[in-house]
Amino acid sequence: RAKANGRNRFHFYNPQLDREQLERVALENALFHALQHGEFELHYQPQVDIRTGRIDGAEALIRWNRPGHSLVSPGCFIPLAEECGLIGDIGNWVLEEACAQMQRWQREGIRLRVSVNLSALQLEDPGFCDRVAQILERHTLEPDQLELELTESLLMKHVDATVDLLRQLDRMGVHLSIDDFGTGYSSLSYLKRFPLDKLKIDQSFVREISIDQDDAVICRTIISMAENLNLKVTAEGVEQTEQLALLAEFGCHQYQGFLFSRPVPAPELAQLYRQSQTETEPAWEI
Ligand code: C2E
Ligand code: MG
Ligand code: MG
Ligand code: MG
């Protein structure tokens, strides 16, 4: 018995497949089905300007509402989608949906920059840049409303081809940031080669920033290096006021984390945005 999975792939029943492999195949088939049946949704986590306490961006994070199942985390199904070749279609859906949402917000008077996570394989699509341009145009958005999050390993993969592509995106006006900064294997020289706008300090350095001196030094160093390179810095995974106070002291520009809000559905993000615009004081005090 063969079951279609993706465009050119078939999985044949083989009694030697072990349980794990069978579960994988089932999950891959479910992913394919999910894309066709609209089971994906984007949630948005506010990105907050540390100085003003106001929301000035949002990160789009994919969610899979799998009928009859509890939430499957993207940390689990994104790597699988990368392996089985579905990430291209899923990634396109994410870009499309994030831009459609920005346009809806814009009509409600909410102008937010939205960041979208990219997988390495998406950059291997030679038409990627044109696709981004078309999506932006179709939704009447300015390119600088879109931010693309890249990882260090993605940047290090095909350096020359990637530099060209990112330069094209940069010339168009799209913002580029490095996600999970500090965790990848990389050389710092790429910070000069790529036209970046922002570094996102990985949450593993933020978690113990107020109790571990080394983490505090790492955060402080990333922030001052970014400052000198003319890059913005966002701290990820901020859960406590003490963490935020230190990041503010170090001169960090922006943060996101459960302290302000978890990733939420689009209507809730709009509500949080309006609230944060009317509040006069930052949501935190040192
Ligand atoms: P990421 O891009 O680094 O996203 C940050 C993750 O940290 C999110 O997990 C978010 O919910 C979580 N987070 C935010 N604030 C806090 C906090 O204060 N404490 C803690 N402990 N966690 C926090 P999520 O949504 O499960 O996503 C996991 C990863 O999956 C993302 O990491 C990203 O690498 C990937 N991902 C998510 N959506 C997409 C997508 O649309 N495309 C691609 N290619 N990858 C995606
Ligand atoms: Mg991210
Ligand atoms: Mg730029
Ligand atoms: Mg991250």
Structure confidence at residue 222 (pLDDT): 96
Confidence at 10, pLDDT banded by 50, 70, 90 = low
Q: Please give all residues whose CB falls under 5 A of ion ligand 3, grouped by chain where several chains appear.
A: 170, 197
* pLDDT given for residue 190 in this prediction: 84
**77, 101, 78: which is closest to 23 by C-alpha?**
77
pLDDT on residue 169: 98
State whether the beta carbon of 258 lies less than 6 angstroms from ligand 1.
yes
- Beta carbons of 255 and 48 less than 8 angstroms apart: yes
pLDDT value at position 192? 87
Of 279 and 175, the one with more pLDDT: 175
Q: Is the pLDDT of residue 4 over 90?
A: no
Q: Burial of 13 by CB count in 10 Å (0-12 exposed, 13-18 middle, 19+ buried)? A: exposed
pLDDT, average across residues 134-150? 98
What's 67's DSSP letter?
T
Q: Which of 36-40, 102-106, 156-160, 260-264 has the lowest mean pLDDT?
A: 156-160
* Mean of the per-residue pLDDT values of the chain: 91
Angle between helical axes of 87-107 and 266-278 (0-180°, round to 10): 40
pLDDT at 145 over 60: yes
Tell me the DSSP string of 208-262.
TTTT-HHHHHHHHHHHHHHHHTT-EEEE----SHHHHHHHHHHT--EE-STTT--
13 vs 53, more confident: 53
pLDDT value at residue 284: 53
Tell which atom from ligand 1 comes closest to the C-alpha of 91. Answer: 42
- Kindly tell me if the per-residue pLDDT of 186 is higher than 70: no
pLDDT band of residue 63 (cuts 50, 70, 90) is: very high
Q: Is 74 in the pocket of ligand 1 (CB under 6 A)?
A: yes
Cβ of residue 184 lying under 6 Å from some atom of ligand 1 = no
Q: What is the pLDDT of residue 279?
A: 76
Q: Give the pLDDT band of residue 3 (cuts 50, 70, 90).
A: very low
263 in ligand 1 pocket by Cβ < 6 Å? yes
3-state secondary structure of 97: helix
Residues linked to residue 10 through DSSP beta bridges, in sequence order? 4
Q: What is the average pLDDT across 102-120?
A: 96
- The candidate with the shortest Cα–Cα distance to 68, out of 29, 43, 39, is 39
- 2: pLDDT strictly greater than 90: no
Find, among 263, 14, 6, the residue nearest to 115 by Cα. 263
Contact 179, 200 (CB under 8 A): yes
pLDDT at 12: 61
Q: What mean pLDDT do residues 251-279 have? A: 96
pLDDT score of 95: 98
- What ligand 1 atom has the least distance to the C-alpha of 45? 14
Cα–Cα distance for residue pair 34/37, rounded to 1 Å: 5
Is the Cβ–Cβ distance between 71 and 34 less than 8 Å? no
* Range in 23-27, 91-95, 198-202 with the lowest mean pLDDT: 23-27
Give the closest ligand to the alpha carbon of residue 47: 1
What burial class does residue 223 get, using C-beta atoms within 10 Å of its C-beta: 0-12 exposed, 13-18 middle, 19+ buried? buried
d(CA 173, CA 183): 27
Rounded to 5 degrees, what are φ and ψ at 32? Answer: -60, -45
220 or 192, higher pLDDT: 220
ipTM of the complex: 0.98
Q: Is the CB of 117 under 6 A from ligand 1?
A: yes
- Mean pLDDT along residues 58-75: 93
Q: Cβ distance 240 to 207 under 8 Å?
A: no
Ligand 1 close to Cβ of residue 257 (< 6 A): yes
Q: Which residue has the tokens 């070749």?
A: 85
Residue 104 has pLDDT above 70, yes or no: yes
- Short-list 223, 241, 222, 248, CA closest to 284: 241
What residues have a C-beta under 5 A from ligand 4, the ion?
A: 179-180, 236
Q: Is 63 exposed, middle or buried (0-12, 13-18, 19+ CB in 10 A)?
A: middle
pLDDT value of residue 6: 47
Provide mean pLDDT across the span 9-14: 59
